[in-house]
Amino acid sequence: MSEDVLRICKRCLTREMIDKDEYFQTLRQLIADVTGDERSSDRLYEERLSVCKNCERLADGLCGACGCYVELRAVIKENHCPYDKW
């Protein structure tokens, strides 16, 4: 397999794809830039990601329901799961 090809990773978050750090740099910066009242607490964020990691729709950090990166959706306090799992 070519190193340029992203491997499909069922039930993985982008932060777990250490070999693709540069590829996800912009996403990680967007997550870090969410601050203040807009940002969910660390506990809530981790609870949401735990639900996503166990969801059959998660692949390569993307929600198969809506196409978002679950880590970015989960960090914004007012967001919700499109399937009402959180």
E strand or H helix at 27: helix 25-33
Distance between CA 73 and CA 44 in Å, rounded? 12
DSSP per-residue string spanning 33-60: H--GGGBPPHHHHHHHHHHHHT-TTEET
Evaluate if residue 29 carries a pLDDT over 80.
Answer: yes
% of the chain beyond a pLDDT of 70: 80
Output 16 or 67, whichever has higher pLDDT.
67
The pLDDT-based confidence of 17 (bands split at 50, 70, 90) is: low
Model confidence pTM above 0.75: yes
Evaluate if residue 13 carries a pLDDT over 70.
Answer: yes
Evaluate if residue 30 carries a pLDDT over 50.
Answer: yes
Evaluate if residue 51 carries a pLDDT over 70.
Answer: yes
pLDDT at 1: 41
